Amino acid sequence: MHSRVGSAPGRLDLLGGVADYAGARVLEVATHRATTVTADADDELVVGPVRIGVDDMFALAALPYPDVRDALTSFPRWTHYVLGVAVVLVRHRVIDPPRARLSIASDVPPSIGVSSSAALEVATARALGGGEIEPLRLAALCQEAENQVVGAPCGIMDQVVVTVGRSGAVLPILCRPAAVEPIVSLPDDLEVVGVPTGAEHDVSGVPYRCARVAAFMGKRMVEEATGSRGPWISELPPDAVAALPDMLDGATFRDRWGGTDDPLTAIDPDATYPVRAATAFGGEEHRRSAALVGALERRDLGAIRHLMAASHAGYDAMGLGHPAASSTVDAMLTRPDVHGARSSGGGSGGTIVVMCERGALDDVDDLIRYLHPSRGAQ
């Protein structure tokens, strides 16, 4: 086996964020920072301190996913993303059990909401030989690894944008389950950048799970009230969503409605959920994303600012805000060349995304830049 190299960028979430699991349209951009995985020949799969032989990989890939998670608990957490991809690719017979030593190099910052996990997953899949399959299927397999092996209930937008995103373009993705729409070019004088808030983000954390559970609770309640069922939260009638309770405890929901149709989360009877805001966000963000595409084409800076502010407020309303994110957004909006800012990705701190004049935030430390084709890597 010759060395095989796989690479994938990070991403910035211009608009959409957690609306991906609601079946909404989201607007994403690839970053100039990327993760590269190199696979060199070995007798078994070697990932950091972990070694898994061919027979053990066959056995692992045949287990139910809860048993796979249990089998990996003694290994460092970061290896679960890599091993999870290998297990899924073998399970679906995309590859044979790998005989490779994997080396990882990345300048995508971890734990700040710019898809370091998806970049690692996709780069790993490409290095192991899965890069020749259809890109959206590759993204779905990597999402399966994160959902089922890592145990993080993410939607699919991150895996899609790091698989097919490219520099110089805003990528609209209709997450039903995943369809890439025509790319949108930014005006030459504008760029999208990410500003870290200093607060780490975790998509498997409590606020994200709470918001997701609340959205699917609302879906179940609207479906019973209207007598109509559908696959996507973002398609629910706005007037029925507006009639949902602001907050509802899990025990009351389970007594009255039973459960939800989300296979990745469970309702905690002792928790209280922001049902109306979390359910409304999917449809509202779906409509905002369409409006933002039009605003970019018209270079309507006032509309861009308004739409990003509404999205930021939506994050706060469903519990995905953070004091560090709000203070960073407020600070950015005082600058005359900034035209919009919001919480992004899974929220809860991490990174805010900013629309600004090109070069306006070059003085900001640790800036994560959308790669404009004429800029080059930085």
pLDDT at 202: 59
Q: What is the CATH number of the domain that holds 104?
A: 3.30.230.10
Peptide bond before residue 98 is cis, with ω within 30 degrees of 0:
no
Q: Which domain holds residue 106?
A: 4-10+32-157
pLDDT at 341: 98
Residue 329 lies in a domain: no
Residues (pLDDT < 50) of the chain are 375-378
191 near 370, Cβ under 8 Å?
A: yes
pLDDT at 120: 98
Residue 127 lies in a domain: yes
Residue 258 lies in a domain: no
pLDDT at 204: 58
Residue 310 lies in a domain: no
Backbone angles phi, psi at 156, to 5 degrees: -100, -5
For β-strands 4-15 and 100-106, DSSP reports them as unpaired
pLDDT at 251: 98
Q: How many domains does the chain have?
A: 1
| pLDDT single digits (tens) 51-72 | 999 999 999 999 999 999 999 9
Residue 128 lies in a domain: yes
Distance of alpha carbon 272 from alpha carbon 229, whole angstroms: 25
Tell which residue, 356, 350, 293, 360, has the closest CA to residue 325: 350
